[in-house]
Structure 1
């Protein structure tokens, strides 16, 4: 097992080295993107679990009772908790505060999604940059040695292909996850907006 891991590590190191200078930024971009995706995935997972209904929400608001985190952790619970902490007791003002709470929470749903989209879109562009630098290397070898140095030519071509491949490998799942997270964010925003309208009518 240790030998296999060592071989895989060496193989990966060789691929990164063969990809040239563009591989470093590509790897960094990929790490940042996936950390943001993981953060959003865990955030949405928490908001989908242990949710409360609209009637339970209005009961907590009328009693001035912040939901128990052990019983309720979902998006509606987050809205109820934030509203109870900011309410004044004035129904007219409280309706505005409720609307502000709904808007604030809905904005939190889309946090980092635009950045994830930008990073996923940048990956194939960096891969294309690697393609260009690899072809430049190949043409430099051709200009210097002609077709007599096949090894140097292969290095430039492999740099071009590896960076293109890596850019697509980073971008495709990144764009898929961005769409997946956007759908979950939209569902939660719609749920919070519906509950917000229900609570507004009963304040």
Structure 2
């Protein structure tokens, strides 16, 4: 088991060495994005049902649900719940969009390395040029893979948030 972990770690280190230091930035953006998405899924499954139940109970406990003031209170509660549902969603979408851009930064740095090699050693050594090309392509691929993983799950989160907003509004009847 420990030997497998060591081999896995060495594989990751080789991959990062081949792709360059930009992969650390891609990994950081990916990590933050996934921590935020997991937190949002947890909020939707564990915390939000309690909040929704509390709002519905407060609405049902009101004697007046038909006046203009009651409708404004209802709208306020729905708005507060919507704000809590929307928390960090924009940041998640931004991080998803940032992943390929960070990968492109790796492309630029890798191409600079290729041009450096060409300037100092000429085009006669394909092995050294291949290293720079790897540094150019691997971060791009990594950024795209990170973005693809985030696109699917952030879209799913977005649908769940919209569904919960509509469900809460439907749960608070206005007469």
Q: After TM superposition, which residue ranges in structure 1, 4 or more long, deviate above 6 angstroms?
A: none
Q: Does 1:193 align with 2:169?
A: yes
Q: What pairs up with 1:12-23 in 2 under 5 angstroms?
A: 12-23=12-23
CA distance in structure 2 between the aligned counterparts of 1:74 and 1:164, rounded to whole angstroms:
42
CA distance in structure 2 between the aligned counterparts of 1:6 and 1:81, rounded to whole angstroms:
54
Q: Name structure 2 gaps, 5 residues minimum.
A: none
Q: Name structure 1 gaps, 5 residues minimum.
A: 49-72
- Which deviates further from its counterpart, 11-20 or 147-156? 147-156
Q: What pairs up with 1:26-45 in 2 under 5 angstroms?
A: 26-45=26-45
Give the total of aligned pairs. 173
| Partner residue, 1:79 | 55
| Partner residue, 2:110 | 134
| Partner residue, 1:162 | 138
Q: Does 1:97 align with 2:97?
A: no
User: Could you state the TM-score of these two structures normalised by the residue count of structure 2?
Assistant: 0.87
CA distance in structure 2 between the aligned counterparts of 1:28 and 1:78, rounded to whole angstroms:
37
Q: Which has the larger radius of gyration?
A: 1
Distance 1:156 1:182, change over 3 A: same
Distance 1:82 1:36, change over 3 A: farther
